Structure 1
Amino acid sequence: MDGDVRSSGRKRRVWCAVLVVMVLFPALGTSVGALPLALCAAVAVAAAMLGRPTGRVSLVRASGFTAVLSLVLDFGYVGDPKPVGFWLPFEGVALWVLLYRVVRREPVPRVLWGGGLVGAATVCLLLRITLHVPEQGWRESVFAVLLGFFPAACVAGVGLYLRSLDGRRARAVAQALREQRLEVARDLHDFVAHEVTGMVLEAQAAQLDGGAPTEARELFERIEGAGLRALDSMDQTVSALRQVDGAGRAVGKGWAEAPSTRVYGLADLGELVGRFSAMSRAGAQLSQEEGLGGTLSREAEDAAYRVVLESLTNVRRHAPHATRVVVEVRRTAEGSVEVTVADDGGGVPGGTRSGGGTGLAGLAERVDALGGSFRAGPRDEGWRVGCVLPAAKAR
């Protein structure tokens, strides 16, 4: 790729040198007064053909210098007016190219002065004829300016239109990257944190065995500490991925917009609850009403699964003394589906680690984006998380 770019740059410079020589060569057979016309046209051609800035000479600087040189020659040329028409087309086309490139590529402040100078030079180019021919007057000069304004406006319009397309494309790419970042943050928090928490709990449970050797208990303590540090780092990573706008807000209109590579549903809750029971001291029970298949959309089923997943993860992390967890999935009187997870862990989640992720906030955004409602809070004996998701619309 780099070789192709260098080769293309060399070819461009060669063609630029050839065209500059072709523009300058006719000046050798004319009067000395025609030399400024040839030089100005050659400078404009070189500035238009060079694809990239050279050293400190940026595109806008080269364009501004060329425009100023052209304007000075328009009003200050004192040579023979006859050769003007020969080099004028070369310079005019080069100024159009410069105007297009400045308007499309340069930042707005540079477009204002750089594009303004090149546009003025393009509009005033025909004054080089009307101001220096004795038979021409002010009417012809006004007509020449109006005549030069039309192509300059067309070139600037094309540049602005393509600039808007470039901006739209850049925003689309940025939006796609934000959605990917949200998906990574969501899956990292929902699934990886869930399994790491299970590993930490296994290490904690192993330390409760009084018969374990001292070396083994120390090893489990190190495993537990490493797991807790990993969860803290994961929380920070999730927060950084979601709060990329610098204002503490999740980027995007909602978590439901980021497509997931694996969509879970109500049918997967049995396996999830069973896995939790096998890895935790708290017994988990699933009470799911029959005949709920097809009631929710795929996105809503995935949201229900993640509500249960996040709730069980929080039980592991924040309610280590919980002995019973009940997961209920039932149909409401309005036809929606209600999912609740309740434990007897006691009060507000505290647990063994400080800080916390953004799981509940993310779930609230996700459920709200699907038109449902979400709630989480303490109950008499523990903590309760629930959501109500609307049924899928019949097609």
Structure 2
Amino acid sequence: MQTELMHVVPVSNRRLFLCGAAVLMMAAPAVIMPAGGLVAVLSAALAVAFSLLPWPRPRMTLAMAGGAAAGVSLLADLVYAGPRDLLLAWLPFEMTALLVLLGRVVRGVPARQVVWVATATGLAAVLLPLRFTLRREPVGTAESVVGCSMAVIPAACAIGIGLYLRSLENQRKRAVAQARRDQRLEMAGDLHDFVAHEVTGMLLEVQAAQVEGRAVGFDPEQTRALLARLEEAGLRALDSMDHTVGALRRTDHDGADRSEADGSSPARSYNLTDLPELVSRFAASGTTAGANTRLEMDDDLPGTLAGEIEDTMYRLVLEALTNVRRHAPGASEIVVSAVCVADTSVEVSVTDDCDQPTAPTRHGGGTGLVGLGERFTMLGGTLSAGPRMGGGGWSVKGVLPISDRTGLDGGRNRRWRKV
């Protein structure tokens, strides 16, 4: 059976001193009171103490405290047998404490308990004037009605304040939950973009080696080269996972990211300077080694765009090349392009000429382009994927607007490279 641990709020020395002083102030006059009036002192002291202490406490929750204070107060209304006039010394303090406790109950007690606890606490506050008016000779019926009616107003105010604070707390919890959800989705996207790319390459390398080995036998040199590529891909996948796990460990329990405070990035970020290495690594893999792979990119484009834009462009190329490995291993020409369009936007695309794509060999997947589409939309851009215009093959193209490019002198020095 799973046990839910209760988080105990620490009590400061100042709070303890204030609570103790208030209780002593409530109880001190009891030494001159008849024994029948002690119940009023106890009720007032208990309400004041419970209204000042932070909750929950060890083995006691705010719901239990509110219910206990309300029960003792209602009991005191029934059994008080002391002098009537002495009640005026404690009723204002007890009324104030019950109203504060009512507001705290409405704000902080769980939904499954708040109705009955708030009802009991509010009833104790509203009926508190009866402890004074019902002991008049003759009984002050009119005074009782007026006193209870007047007590309803501050009780309603306490409930309203508690509901308002409860709504603010619920909004905060929803914001924290949404932040955690967004962070989990970001981490899942990182794992998909980087780890899945390497794992897909490793899987296709092994499958190709198995087919070739069954056909002509395993060549020792090719086998060593394959193992070296698999080792490098595995290390890169582990490195990406280390970055993701490290970002998760930097996250506080309240959903805040410590990396914002120390200036570090919550997740690994890439830019356009990493594109040549990515394309070269893709071209050297066993499944696409025979393809004519080219990278077209403006020489002065890398490093001139916002980091988020360059990271998004890198992720598109990574996802598109992963799909080429998976679905178009027979492509003879693959072109990766990252160019500026009229100095107002930047375009990144990956095209291949494979006429007969390979059917997927596993179930699931298909979320990479969806996540990229959401990322492009968030940045004000567009993403499209489909058959290439004017010939066979497939094209993935993304366009992002740019507002500031530093150190750029026209963006027209374009380089083509075969990798």
Q: 1:367 is paired with a residue of what secondary structure? A: helix
Q: Unaligned 5+ residue runs, structure 1? A: 242-257
Q: Distance in 1 between matches of 2:309 and 2:53?
A: 55
* Residues 62, 108 of structure 2: 8 Å contact kept: no
1:383 aligns with 2:386: no
Provide Cα deviations, 1:333-380, integer angstroms capped at 9, x if missing partner.
795433321223344452544432511111111122223222223455
- Aligned counterpart in structure 2 of residue 320 of structure 1, from 326, 329, 332: 329
Seen in structure 2, the aligned counterparts of structure 1 residues 342 and 132 have a Cα distance that, compared at 3 Å, is same
Residue number in structure 2 paired with 1:249: none
Q: How many angstroms does 1:84 deviate by? A: 1.6
SS of the aligned residue for 1:176 comes to helix
Bigger CA drift: 86-95 or 313-322? 86-95
Which residue of the partner structure matches residue 116 of structure 1? 119
1:81 is displaced (CA, Å) by 1.0
Distance in 2 (alpha carbons) for counterparts of 1:8 and 1:104:
19
Question: 1:321/1:130 Cα in 2 relative to 1: closer, same or farther (>3 Å)?
Answer: same
Asked if structure 2 preserves the Cα contact closer than 8 Å seen for 1:119 and 1:152, the reply is yes
2:126 corresponds to which letter in structure 1?
Answer: V
Alpha-carbon distance in 1 for matches of 2:298, 2:397: 16
1:277 aligns with 2:283: yes
354 and 165 in structure 1: CA distance in 2 versus 1, 3 angstrom threshold: closer
| Structure-2 separation of matches of 1:358 and 1:182 | 11
Is the 8 Å Cα contact of residues 319 and 350 (structure 1) preserved in structure 2?
A: no
SS at match of 2:89: helix
Q: Distance between the aligned counterparts of 2:368 and 2:183, measured in 1?
A: 17
Q: 2:34 aligns with which of 27, 31, 34?
A: 31
Match in the other structure for 1:100:
103
TM-score normalised over the length of structure 2: 0.68
Deviation, 1:90, is 4.3
Matched AA of 1:44: A
- Segment of structure 1 superposing worse, 43-52 or 89-98: 43-52
Question: 1:107-164, CA deviations, whole angstroms, 9 ceiling, x for partnerless residues?
Answer: 2343333223212322332232223223784554344335434544454444344434
Q: 1:335 to 1:83 in 2, by over 3 A?
A: closer
Identity %: 50
> Aligned in 2, Cα 1:107/1:317: closer, same or farther, shift over 3 Å?
same
Cα distance 1:97–1:301, how it changes in 2: closer, same or farther (>3 A)?
Answer: same
Distance 2:106 2:203 in 1: 59
- 8 Å CA contact retained: 1:99, 1:156: yes
Asked if the contact 1:295/1:392 (under 8 Å) is kept, the reply is no
**Range that drifts further, 137-146 or 105-114:** 137-146
Question: Partner residue of 1:305?
Answer: 314
Secondary structure of the corresponding residue to residue 325 of structure 1: strand
Mapped contact 2:270–2:314 kept (Cα < 8 A) = no
In structure 1, what is the Cα distance between the partners aligned to 2:202 and 2:152?
73
1:4-57 Cα distance to aligned partner (Å, 9 max, x none): x79849998899788767755654643343233234334434544564557875
**Deviates most, 381-390 or 6-15:** 6-15
Q: Residue 374 of structure 2: which of 365, 374, 387 is its match?
A: 365
Residues 99, 158 of structure 2: 8 Å contact kept = yes
Structure 1 residues 260 and 50: alpha-carbon distance in aligned structure 2, compared to 1, 3 A threshold: closer
> d(CA) in 1 for partners of 2:14 and 2:405?
62
Q: 1:286 is matched with which residue? A: 295
Please say if 1:193 is aligned against 2:199.
Answer: no
Name the count of aligned residue pairs. 360
Aligned to 1:356: 365
Letter aligned with residue 269 of structure 1: L
2:353/2:393 contact within 8 Å kept: yes
1:126 paired with 2:135, answer no
Is the aligned partner of 1:212 residue 2:219? yes
1:251 corresponds to: none
User: 1:222-243, CA deviations, whole angstroms, 9 ceiling, x for partnerless residues?
Assistant: x79x98xx99xx9xx9xxx9xx
Residue of structure 1 in register with 2:251 after alignment:
none
* CA shift in 2, pair 1:289/1:52, >3 Å: closer
Matched letter for residue 264 of structure 1: N
What's the C-alpha RMSD, in Å, of the aligned pairs? 4.4
What letter matches 1:170 in structure 2?
Answer: K
> Equivalent residue for 1:392?
403
Pick from 230, 247, 264: which aligns with 2:271?
264
- In 1, Cα distance between the equivalents of 2:118 and 2:349? 62
Residues 1:378 and 1:390: Cα distance change in structure 2 (over 3 Å): same
1:372 and 1:389 in contact (8 A); partners too: yes
2:147 is aligned with 1:144: yes
Q: Which of these residues, 69, 73, 77, is aligned with residue 74 of structure 1?
A: 77
Q: Is the 8 A contact 1:340 1:384 kept in 2?
A: yes
CA distance in 2, matches of 1:49, 1:338: 62
| 1:163–1:177 Cα change, 3 Å | same
**How far apart, CA to CA, are the structure 2 residues paired with 1:329 and 1:39?**
78
Instruction: Give 1:201 deviation, angstroms.
Output: 4.2
Tell me the secondary structure at the aligned position of residue 369 of structure 2.
helix
Distance in 2 separating the partners of 1:347 and 1:358 = 22
User: What is the CA–CA distance in structure 2 between the aligned matches of 1:59 and 1:162, rounded to whole Å?
Assistant: 16
Q: State how 1:164-203 maps to structure 2 within 5 Å.
A: 164-203=167-206
SS in 2 for 1:83: helix
- CA distance in 2: counterparts of 1:291 and 1:262, whole angstroms: 20
